[in-house]
C-alpha cells in the first residue's frame, strides 16, 4: 500500500537583517543590543548644511541670522561613568577624550565646515559600555551663526556591529546656540539611545556647556576654555 506522505520540511529561517533605524519625535528611543550594537566602536556623526530658504525665528523678528565666514559647529559629549567620574569631551581646551581608557569617548577632530563628507565625528567604545552610566551628546555653535535656525543637521550613530541609527534635528524656532542631540543611558543590561533634538537658549553670561549641564543635572564646575 502507499506510504504516507512525508511531513513538509521546516522552512529555513531567513537571516535577521538589521536595517537602519530612524528616531522620531513619536518614536525617540532604541536599544543598542536589539540593533546588534553591543561591542566595538560606535561612531557618532554630525553633518549640516545651511537652508536655502530661511524660515526660522529670525524671520519672524524681521531679520536674518547673521552668517559670517565659515560656520563652525562643535560636537561634544558630557559623560558620567559608573564610578561617579564626570567630564566633557570637546574641542575647547583640547579635551578630546580617549577611546581605550576613561572616558572611552574620543572626538576625532574639529571640522570647521560641516559640508564635507566627514562632518564632526565622535567615537564611543562599546566594549566598555558597562563603565558608562550616561552620556549626553550635544552640539554648540562656536562661530559663524547666531542660532541653529537656518541649519539642517543630521545625526548618525553607527555601531561597528549593528545597524545605523539616525535622526534629523528638525527646525529650530528659538535663538539657540546649543542643542542636546542624544541621551545614552545604561539600564544595567543595555544602552538606550534617545533622540533629544532639544534646542536650548543660554541665559546671558551662561556658556553653552553650562546650559547643557543645568538641563541634565550634571553638576560640574565650569571655567572658560578656548581652542
144 closest CA partner among 74, 67, 30, 92: 67
What does the angle CA 154 – CA 156 – CA 159 come to, to the nearest 5 degrees? 180
φ, ψ of residue 72 in degrees (nearest 5): -120, 105
DSSP states along 49-70: EE-SS--SHHHHTT-PPP--SS
Domain ranges of the chain: 29-216
Predicted local distance difference test score (pLDDT) of residue 6: 60
Q: How many CA within 13 A on the CB side of residue 179?
A: 31
Per-residue pLDDT, 65: 36
Query: In this structure, what C-alpha cell is assigned to residue 208?
Result: 553653552
The dihedrals phi and psi of 216, each to the nearest 5 degrees, come to: -115, 10
pLDDT tens for the 227 residues of the chain, in order:
656 566 566 555 444 446 789 999 999 999 998 887 888 999 999 988 876 654 444 433 222 333 444 678 889 999 999 999 999 999 888 899 999 999 999 998 655 544 444 678 999 999 999 999 999 999 998 887 888 988 888 999 999 988 899 999 988 999 999 999 999 999 988 899 999 999 999 999 999 999 999 999 999 988 776 65
Note the Cα 78 to chain centre separation in Å: 11
Number of Cβ atoms within 10 Å of the Cβ of 184: 23
d(CA 211, CA 124): 23
Quick one: pLDDT at residue 110? 55
Among candidate residues 85, 88, 42, 72, the one with its CA nearest the CA of residue 193: 42
Query: What is the model's pLDDT at position 146?
Result: 83
Beta bridge mates, 86: 80
Question: Which pLDDT value is given to residue 89?
Answer: 96
How far apart (Å, rounded) are the C-alpha atoms in residues 170 and 37?
A: 26
Three cell numbers written together for 201: 537658549
CATH code of the domain made up of 29-216: 2.60.60.30
In the block, residue with C-alpha cell 524656532: 173
Amino acid at each position: 500500500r502507499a506510504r504516507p506522505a512525508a511531513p513538509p520540511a521546516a522552512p529555513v529561517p531567513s537571516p535577521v537583517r538589521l536595517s537602519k533605524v530612524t528616531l522620531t519625535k513619536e518614536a525617540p528611543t532604541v536599544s543598542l543590543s536589539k540593533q546588534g550594537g553591543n561591542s566595538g566602536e560606535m561612531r557618532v556623526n554630525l553633518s549640516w548644511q545651511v537652508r536655502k530658504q530661511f524660515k526660522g525665528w529670525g524671520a519672524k523678528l524681521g531679520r536674518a541670522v547673521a552668517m559670517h565666514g565659515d560656520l563652525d559647529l562643535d560636537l561634544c559629549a558630557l559623560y558620567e561613568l559608573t564610578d561617579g567620574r564626570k567630564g566633557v569631551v570637546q574641542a575647547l581646551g583640547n579635551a578630546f577624550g580617549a577611546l581605550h581608557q576613561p572616558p572611552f569617548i574620543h572626538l576625532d577632530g574639529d571640522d570647521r565646515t560641516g559640508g564635507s563628507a566627514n562632518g564632526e565625528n565622535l567615537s564611543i567604545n562599546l566594549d566598555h559600555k558597562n563603565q558608562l552610566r550616561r552620556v549626553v551628546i550635544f552640539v554648540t555653535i562656536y562661530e559663524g551663526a547666531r542660532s541653529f535656525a537656518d541649519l539642517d543637521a543630521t545625526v548618525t550613530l553607527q555601531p561597528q556591529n549593528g545597524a545605523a541609527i539616525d535622526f534629523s534635528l528638525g527646525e529650530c524656532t528659538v535663538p539657540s546656540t546649543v542643542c542636546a542631540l542624544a541621551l545614552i543611558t545604561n539600564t544595567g543590561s543595555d544602552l538606550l539611545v534617545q533622540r533629544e533634538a532639544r534646542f536650548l537658549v543660554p541665559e546671558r553670561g551662561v556658556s553653552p556647556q553650562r546650559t547643557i549641564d543645568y538641563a541634565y543635572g550634571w553638576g560640574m564646575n565650569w571655567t572658560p576654555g578656548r581652542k
